[in-house]
Structure 1
Amino acid sequence: MKMYNLHIVRSPLQLINILEAIETLSLENNILVIIDRKSMSNNRQIQEVLHAIDYKWEMLFHIEKKSKTSFLDYVKLIKKIKAYHFKHIFTGDIDSISNVIIANLKHEKIFLVDDGTSTLKRHEALLQDSKLRFKDRMKLLRFNMFGLKAHKEYKLNFFTFFDISPKADETIVKNAFTHLKKQFNLSQSKSDKVYILGQPIYNKEIPEDIFIEHLEKILKHYQGKEIIYVKHRYENIPKAVAAVLQERAEIYTNKYPIELDFLIKQEYPRYITGFFSTALYTLKQMFNESEVTLFHIDGKHFFKTERAEVVENYYAFFNNNGFNIIK
Structure 2
Amino acid sequence: MSNINLFVVQSPFQMISAIEAANYFKCENNVLIVRLTGEKNNNNQIERLFEFFQWTRVICIRHLLSITVTDNKLAFYLNKIKRNERISYLFIGEIRSRIMQAYIDNLNYDSCFLLDDGVSTAVTNKILRENSFDLTKLFKSSRRNYLINKLLYKLWGISGKKGKLIHWFSCFNIKAIGSEQVFIHRFEYLKGMMESRTVTKLENVIFFIGSNLSGVGVMDVSNELRLLKLMAKKYSEKGIHVVYCSHRREAQEKLDAINAIDNMQIRTMTFPLEIAFMIEGEYPDRIATFYSSALYTLQKIYAPKYIKSFRIPGNLITDEYKDSVNKAYAYLAEEGVVIDNINYDDIR
For normalisation by structure 1, the TM-score amounts to 0.90
User: Take 1:110 and 1:46, find their aligned partners in 2: how far apart are those partners?
Assistant: 22
SS at match of 1:82: helix
Aligned runs of 1:277-296 on 2, under 5 Å?
277-296=292-311
Identity among equivalent positions (%) equals 27
Residues 169-208 of structure 1 deviation map (CA, whole Å, 9 limit, x = unaligned):
2111112001111123265642222111111113622123
User: Take 2:333 and 2:168, find their aligned partners in 1: how far apart are those partners?
Assistant: 23
Residues 243-264 of structure 1 deviation map (CA, whole Å, 9 limit, x = unaligned):
5644322111111001110111
User: Take 1:70 and 1:201, find their aligned partners in 2: how far apart are those partners?
Assistant: 26
SS at match of 1:162: coil
User: Take 2:258 and 2:297, find their aligned partners in 1: how far apart are those partners?
Assistant: 29
User: Take 2:326 and 2:233, find their aligned partners in 1: how far apart are those partners?
Assistant: 24
Residue equivalent to 1:7:
7
Equivalent residues of 1:75, 1:143 under 8 A apart: no
SS at match of 1:254: coil
User: Take 1:187 and 1:16, find their aligned partners in 2: how far apart are those partners?
Assistant: 21
Equivalent residues of 2:290, 2:309 under 8 A apart: yes
Residue equivalent to 2:346:
none
Task: Give the partner amino acid of 1:315.
Answer: Y
SS at match of 1:65: coil
Equivalent residues of 1:299, 1:311 under 8 A apart: no
- Closer/same/farther in 2, CA of residues 219 and 26 from structure 1, 3 Å limit: same
Residue equivalent to 2:134:
none
Check if 1:59 corresponds to 2:57. Answer: yes
Equivalent residues of 1:184, 1:264 under 8 A apart: no
Residue equivalent to 1:77:
77
SS at match of 2:111: strand
- Closer/same/farther in 2, CA of residues 156 and 296 from structure 1, 3 Å limit: same
Residue equivalent to 1:317:
331
- Closer/same/farther in 2, CA of residues 235 and 243 from structure 1, 3 Å limit: closer
In the TM superposition, residue 8 of structure 1 has moved relative to its aligned partner by: 0.4
User: Take 2:77 and 2:34, find their aligned partners in 1: how far apart are those partners?
Assistant: 11
- Closer/same/farther in 2, CA of residues 135 and 166 from structure 1, 3 Å limit: closer
Name whichever of 109-118 and 165-174 sits farther off. 165-174
Check if 1:215 corresponds to 2:224. Answer: no
User: Take 1:105 and 1:201, find their aligned partners in 2: how far apart are those partners?
Assistant: 36
Task: Give the partner amino acid of 1:65.
Answer: H
- Closer/same/farther in 2, CA of residues 88 and 214 from structure 1, 3 Å limit: same
Check if 1:191 corresponds to 2:192. Answer: no
Residue equivalent to 2:145:
136
2:183 to 153, 156, 173: 173
Task: Give the partner amino acid of 2:322.
Answer: A
User: Take 2:20 and 2:224, find their aligned partners in 1: how far apart are those partners?
Assistant: 35
In the TM superposition, residue 294 of structure 1 has moved relative to its aligned partner by: 0.9
Residues 121-171 of structure 1 deviation map (CA, whole Å, 9 limit, x = unaligned):
332225724464344334332332453334532222111111123333211
Residues 282-322 of structure 1 deviation map (CA, whole Å, 9 limit, x = unaligned):
11111123311111112221121x41222122222222222
Equivalent residues of 2:258, 2:264 under 8 A apart: no
User: Take 1:138 and 1:3, find their aligned partners in 2: how far apart are those partners?
Assistant: 35
Residues 95-133 of structure 1 deviation map (CA, whole Å, 9 limit, x = unaligned):
211123333321121111111222223322257244643
Aligned runs of 1:1-327 on 2, under 5 Å?
2-51=2-51, 53-55=52-54, 57-68=55-66, 69-83=69-83, 84-94=85-95, 95-124=97-126, 125=128, 126=130, 128-130=137-139, 132-140=141-149, 141-145=151-155, 147-185=157-195, 187=198, 189-192=200-203, 193-202=205-214, 204-223=217-236, 224-238=239-253, 242=257, 245-304=260-319, 306-327=320-341
User: Take 2:255 and 2:284, find their aligned partners in 1: how far apart are those partners?
Assistant: 28
Higher percent of residues as helix: 2
User: Take 1:49 and 1:293, find their aligned partners in 2: how far apart are those partners?
Assistant: 28
SS at match of 1:247: coil
Structure 1 vs Structure 2 CA RMSD: 2.3
In the TM superposition, residue 71 of structure 1 has moved relative to its aligned partner by: 4.6
User: Take 1:317 and 1:36, find their aligned partners in 2: how far apart are those partners?
Assistant: 29
User: Take 2:259 and 2:78, find their aligned partners in 1: how far apart are those partners?
Assistant: 49
User: Take 2:89 and 2:218, find their aligned partners in 1: how far apart are those partners?
Assistant: 37
User: Take 1:123 and 1:238, find their aligned partners in 2: how far apart are those partners?
Assistant: 35
- Closer/same/farther in 2, CA of residues 245 and 194 from structure 1, 3 Å limit: farther
Q: Which runs of 5+ in 2 are unaligned?
A: 132-136, 342-348
User: Take 1:34 and 1:135, find their aligned partners in 2: how far apart are those partners?
Assistant: 28
- Closer/same/farther in 2, CA of residues 301 and 210 from structure 1, 3 Å limit: same
User: Take 1:279 and 1:240, find their aligned partners in 2: how far apart are those partners?
Assistant: 20
